[in-house]
C-alpha cells in the first residue's frame, strides 16, 4: 500500500470512549501528511490563479506517482468549486476554504478550519455506475435551499471530508 502501512487500514469509529456517537474514520497519520502536502502544493487551489489549471494538471500527474489513493479527495475538492458556484451564497462561504493551501484533519465544523475538503456520494447498489438508476431523493425543506436526502449510497468518496456533494433526484429533475 505504498507509504501507508498495511497494518493500519482506514477504520470506522462510531462512538467515543464515553459512548457518544462520532461517526469518524480513522486514517493512518501518513495519509494525513500526504494529503496535507497535496493541499499545500495547490492541488485543490487552481481556481482564479493565472495558469492554475495547467499547473494543477501537471502537478497532479506527478502527484499520482506518490500515492494515488489520496488523489480522490484532492480531485473532489477541486471539482466541487464549479458546482458550488451555481449558488453564489454557497460559493462565497465554501470556495475560500476549498482553495486554501492549509489542510486541517481535525474533526470539527468547517467554519472553524482554515481549509476544507469535499467528498462525493453518487453510487448506489441498484445503479452501480448508472446514475440515472439512482433512487436517492432530495426534498426541499425550506426556501433557504436546504434539502432532506433519503436513499442509500454504498460508496462515499473520502469519508474524512468536511462536506459532500450528493447526487439525488430532486423535484423537477
Residue 4 has pLDDT above 60, yes or no: no
pLDDT tens-place string over residues 11-46? 778 888 999 988 788 888 998 999 999 999 999 999
Q: Which residue has the higher pLDDT, 125 or 90?
A: 90
Report the run of H or E that residue 57 belongs to, with start and end: helix 52-63
When pLDDT is averaged across residues 81-104 and rounded to a whole number, the result is 95
Q: Is the pLDDT of residue 125 over 80?
A: no
Domain map (residue ranges) of the chain? 11-166
Q: Which fold has domain 11-166?
A: Butyryl-CoA Dehydrogenase, subunit A; domain 2 (2.40.110)
Q: Is the pTM of the predicted complex or chain greater than 0.85?
A: no
Q: In terms of pLDDT, which residue wins out, 120 or 157?
A: 120
| Residue pair 134/104 in contact by the 8 Å Cβ criterion | no
pLDDT of residue 10: 66
- Looking at residue 35, its pLDDT comes to 93
In DSSP terms, which residues pair with 165 in a beta bridge?
Answer: 120
Contact, 166 vs 134, CB < 8 A?
no
Amino acid at each position: 500500500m505504498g507509504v501507508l502501512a498495511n497494518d493500519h487500514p482506514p477504520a470506522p469509529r462510531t462512538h467515543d470512549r464515553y459512548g457518544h456517537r462520532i461517526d469518524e474514520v480513522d486514517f493512518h497519520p501518513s495519509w494525513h501528511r500526504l494529503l496535507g502536502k497535496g493541499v499545500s502544493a495547490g492541488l485543490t487551489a487552481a481556481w482564479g490563479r493565472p495558469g492554475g489549471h495547467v499547473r494543477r494538471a501537471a502537478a497532479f500527474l506527478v502527484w499520482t506517482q506518490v500515492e494515488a489513493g489520496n488523489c480522490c479527495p484532492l480531485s473532489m475538492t477541486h471539482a466541487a468549486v464549479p458546482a458550488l458556484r451555481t449558488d453564489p451564497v454557497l460559493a462565497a462561504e465554501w470556495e475560500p476554504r476549498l482553495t486554501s493551501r492549509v489542510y486541517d484533519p481535525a474533526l470539527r465544523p468547517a467554519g472553524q478550519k482554515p481549509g476544507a475538503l469535499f467528498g462525493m456520494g453518487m453510487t448506489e447498489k441498484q445503479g452501480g455506475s448508472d446514475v440515472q438508476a439512482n433512487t436517492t431523493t432530495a426534498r426541499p425543506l425550506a426556501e433557504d435551499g436546504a434539502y432532506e436526502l433519503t436513499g442509500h449510497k454504498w460508496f462515499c468518496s473520502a469519508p474524512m471530508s468536511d462536506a459532500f456533494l450528493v447526487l439525488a433526484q430532486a423535484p423537477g429533475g
